[in-house]
Structure 1
Amino acid sequence: MNKFIFPILTSSILLSGCIGGTNIKSVSDFQREPLVKASVMPTKAQLSGAKIRVIVFDADDSNVGLAKSSKIGSAISNKVENLLSETGVEIVDRKLAAKLQKEIQLAELKGRRDYKGPEVADFSITGKVVTANFTQTYSAASNWVDDKGKSHYTPPSCKYSVSVEATLKVHALPSLQPVDTITITDTESKSQDLDGHSYRHYYKSHTCPKYNKVQLDSLVIAAGSDAVYESKVQLQNNFAARGYITEHRAKEGKHIFKITMGKQAGVKEGQEVDIIQVFINDNQLTGEASMEESKLMEGEVSNQIGNNYAWITISDEILAKRVRLGDVVKVRFTDSMLDQFKKIL
């Protein structure tokens, strides 16, 4: 049944490229529309468009022998940095914040939330390898005949597998408040045929050739890196670029909005965005006020993108009229069609 999935997905990709409503020939063709101010307007600092600074520490692999020997902790952090670079954040050199890492560990152990060191980043990411297991399985040779009467031979083989599980934790700085915890898992496998005279000992004894350290390290690191990649959407959405609505234009029922982020923030044509409205909520019991966010609708980045601005398109004409000056616009990361296809397989 899976053989029909790829043509369907391929067709979807082709159709999505034809249907897209992100193309704007000229912004000047659209008429400017009035905007009501949001109840909570962005500050000057928020409007400055400064990049989010993130520091990624090596994942702790010290308590898992196989993980430690292959140095998977470093591989995991490198993959995290690679994926975050796609979001437009600024990656801070982890060597600048050795004290910060110790403070985060204390915060997790004792609940301390009083880091007083230099503010080198806005968020930190730490990790811990929970398990890393290696298995090998021998499969004997087999013969079989297909529906057309043709004989087939499958040689003996060995399958080598590594399963990895780890956790990633995101903390806001300097408060050290936890933002998100992500569990990552993956299993990587390699197979080796044992056909031929040189493998005679193994297929007679039904055993596998020893997997050397270089091969094993490569398999462990691949499992760790792929585990991070499998969770990239959740990881990236923690640091999705945020901008604000500054202008509204319309033409023949099509609505476009100018936002305060562009190429420098990693904004690209076709990206999905959420339009979020911020409200002040008064607690009737405590008398304290807090800010709450509510998603209004979704939009899409058009082809009109500058260094510090972009125009987004809105398909819902009724909701478009509820968008306010200063409303938050947040890029939303999703799996690509290819990634969705890989997960199905």
Structure 2
Amino acid sequence: MFKKGLVAVALTTALTGCGVTAVCPPGTEIEMETAGIPAKASDELKVIVLPVDMEFKDAAKGRLQTVFRNDLEATIEGTGAKLVDRKLANKLKGEIKLAEQSGRYNKSGVPIADLAVITEVTASNLSSSFSEAYSYENDDGETKYVPAKCSFTTEVKAVAKVVSLPDMNLVQRIELGASDYSSTETNNSRCPISNAQYKGMASEAAEKAVAYNFELQKLLAPSAPVTAMRQCEAGTMVKVAMGSKKKLEPGTYITLSQIHKSDEGDIETFTLGEGYVVKHEQDAVKPNFSWVAIDEEMSLRIRKGDSAKVVPEECPILNPMCHLNQLGL
């Protein structure tokens, strides 16, 4: 079923330690088994983001609701999913909220969306601390003066529930939370702060809460079936049915998995491992497909129709604030 050179080429690639930088040419196809349950592409996934709830009074209420909704919509658009028009979302909020309580959204005709995001801001807390002025002597014997100051922390929390339509099943509950910090020199130990300053800090915290949480990106990451395999001196690679239209680029990491049906009828997903889009600017990524480099073990197990899903990039190395937020600091 597989060419004898497949394992040898994969081993050679592993030993060199270099990434695959060329796409195998036509004529180097490898015969593949066909998956019993082929994966479907996520092209037509539609998501409706409801207006954000906030049940308590707060000076930053309107700002927080706007920031959370705007940023959640931007995050969803970034995954390639389709957003339901905001005017329609506003109109349908009451119906969907009632359906959440009853467990069924009874809407006839064409489904408005596959998923609904129901978000509630649960906390926005401002705290302050006063530090008195002090002096100290540095290593050079110089006296340094540190003025008195007030330090402020605003912590914002929210919960985003992703539910499927029309059955209203909970797909995922996502906890959103982050803090923003500021300080000002003052001798006033009461640490007064204006509404404008507080609103600005709350908005910054809300932006971080969405930007530094990657659960939604993981849930909605583009996916598509594997359609072919090639093997040549460059390495072994599979063709996946998504490309630049889904924002794939050379080096993008891809999770490959299989779908199985148990004897009881349950559908299970079994992860094979990760590959990456071949690192060639011109040949590796086309609008509707890409070539993904895979290793020896995976090449012997993957089947035509298995699922390929983008692994969203999380905290960039040079973004320490993102890493601190991930650690809850």
Q: Does TM, normalized by the shorter one, top 0.5? A: yes
Q: Deviations over 1:45-68 (max 9, x none)?
A: x45x63422121232123242442
RMSD: 2.2
TM superposition shift of 1:343: 4.2
Q: Deviations over 1:242-301 (max 9, x none)?
A: 111111001237211101111112222212111111112121xxxxx2322111121111
1:27-38 correspondence to structure 2 within 5 Å? 27-28=24-25, 31-38=28-35
Structure 2 alignment gaps of length 5 or more: 1-16, 325-329
From 11, 23, 42, give the equivalent of 2:21. 23
Which residue is equivalent to 1:73?
65
Which residue is equivalent to 1:14?
none
| Partners of 2:318 and 2:99 in 1: CA distance | 36
Other structure's SS at 1:175 match: coil
Structure 1 alignment gaps of length 5 or more: 1-18, 195-202, 284-288
What's the % identity of the aligned pairs?
A: 27
Residue 327, structure 1, aligned to residue 306, structure 2: yes
Residue 226, structure 1, aligned to residue 226, structure 2: no
Letter in 1 for 2:200: S
| Partners of 1:269 and 1:192 in 2: CA distance | 46
| Partners of 1:65 and 1:343 in 2: CA distance | 26
| Partners of 2:137 and 2:160 in 1: CA distance | 49
1:22–1:170: structure 2 CA closer, same or farther, 3 Å change rule? farther
Q: Is the 8 A contact 1:29 1:251 kept in 2?
A: no
| Partners of 2:293 and 2:57 in 1: CA distance | 49
| Partners of 2:170 and 2:91 in 1: CA distance | 18
When normalised by structure 2's length, the TM-score is 0.85
Other structure's SS at 1:76 match: helix
Residue 83, structure 1, aligned to residue 75, structure 2: yes
| Partners of 1:264 and 1:175 in 2: CA distance | 30
Which residue is equivalent to 1:131?
123
Q: Is the 8 A contact 2:20 2:234 kept in 1?
A: no
| Partners of 2:320 and 2:29 in 1: CA distance | 42
TM superposition shift of 1:143: 0.4
Whose helix fraction is larger, Structure 1's or Structure 2's?
Answer: 1
Q: Is the 8 A contact 1:264 1:307 kept in 2?
A: yes
Which residue is equivalent to 1:50?
43
1:115–1:266: structure 2 CA closer, same or farther, 3 Å change rule? farther
Which residue is equivalent to 1:207?
190
Letter in 2 for 1:235: L
Which residue is equivalent to 1:301?
277
Count residues with an aligned counterpart: 303
Q: Is the 8 A contact 1:254 1:317 kept in 2?
A: no
Other structure's SS at 2:111 match: coil
Residue 236, structure 1, aligned to residue 217, structure 2: yes
Q: Is the 8 A contact 1:64 1:129 kept in 2?
A: no
1:339–1:186: structure 2 CA closer, same or farther, 3 Å change rule? farther
Q: Is the 8 A contact 2:159 2:174 kept in 1?
A: yes
TM superposition shift of 1:234: 1.0
When normalised by structure 1's length, the TM-score is 0.81
Q: Is the 8 A contact 1:100 1:115 kept in 2?
A: no
Other structure's SS at 2:260 match: strand
Residue 255, structure 1, aligned to residue 250, structure 2: no
Other structure's SS at 2:310 match: strand
Which residue is equivalent to 1:318?
297
Q: Deviations over 1:183-208 (max 9, x none)?
A: 111111111123xxxxxxxx2x5333
| Partners of 1:278 and 1:131 in 2: CA distance | 40
